[in-house]
Structure 1
Amino acid sequence: MSPVCEATPAAEITLPDHEHSARRARAFLSEAYCALHHARVLDEAQLLVSELVTNAVRHGGPPVRVRVDCDGSAGLQVAVSDGSRKPPVRRTAAPEAEGGRGVALVDIISDRWGVEHAESGKTVWFVLS
């Protein structure tokens, strides 16, 4: 992302490898997002960060990190990193299934998303405008 928001600095948190980390990630996002530029997308961002953190805890492993960046009015970028190099998998979940929709939701709701691999794991990021 290009220009950096002058109203809200980037923020990052490391979460425990625990089932309640998705709740903490949503709370972190509501504290750290840029209210000046992104109040309209907070609900969607919280849903998507919750899905990605849940996937990181279930399938990725520690360390689980969440980073939020504001690029002015151009977009809110949220990134979730974990300790696994395995890429996320988009699944087709049955209507009665309790899970398996996270990557599909990120794909449908976000303006764009992607995966960056590193020696120590991966980062899945999304942007909401």
Structure 2
Amino acid sequence: MRIGNLLGVIELAGIPESASLAREYVRDKLGDGHPALDDVTLLVSEVVTNAVVHSDSRNGGTVTLAIADRHDLVHVDVVDAGGDTVPHVRGDPCAEGGRGMMLVERLSHRWDVHEDAAGRTVWFQVRYTRTHE
């Protein structure tokens, strides 16, 4: 088991504007010099946007974002109220929408979706190598 640091948990309103708040939160928690900052910020933006647009959280609910740094990877959980469809990678990269999960697939080390009676969690991990100065 890897041991790391829980950097923080934030609860966001289920509205589109929460994606920008989530990006700010990631930048604040990881810091400007973190080697995974750009990838994690992009993927958080995509997953939170999916949650507030496609899940039942959009109906006055919330989305919870948790970030942990585990020394060689960043682990992120995005928890929403669930919904009729499960986030998945679409096969058409030229489609008008649906590229968010394709980015998650390509940029993350691992990712998955967990659903239960309490809602849905989309999680991903981004590997990095810390440079020592």
Where does residue 24 of structure 1 map in the other structure? 21
2:44 matched to 1:49?
A: yes
Aligned residues: 122
Relative to structure 1, is the Cα distance of residues 19 and 92 closer, same or farther in structure 2, using a 3 angstrom cutoff? Answer: same
Task: Detail structure 1 runs of 4+ shifted over 4 Å in the superposition.
Answer: none
Q: What 5-or-longer segments of structure 1 have no aligned partner?
A: none
Q: Which residue of structure 1 aligns with residue 131 of structure 2?
A: none
How far apart, in 1, do the equivalents of 2:86 and 2:98 lie? 14
Q: Which TM-score applies when normalising by structure 2?
A: 0.82
More helix by share: 1
Distance in 1 between residues matched to 2:107 and 2:93, nearest whole Å: 19
Q: Where does 1:1-129 land on structure 2 (aligned, <5 Å)?
A: 2-5=2-5, 9-33=6-30, 35=31, 39-60=34-55, 61=57, 62-72=61-71, 74-84=72-82, 86-93=85-92, 95=94, 97=96, 99-129=97-127
Distance 1:70 1:55 in 2: 23
Compute the TM-score of the two structures, normalised by the length of structure 1: 0.84
Question: Quick check: 1:92–1:101 contact (8 Å CA) kept in 2?
Answer: no
Distance 1:118 1:59 in 2: 17
1:114–1:96: structure 2 CA closer, same or farther, 3 Å change rule? closer
* TM superposition shift of 1:100: 1.0
Percent of paired sites with the same residue: 34
Amino acid across the alignment from 1:57: V
SS in 1 for 2:124: strand
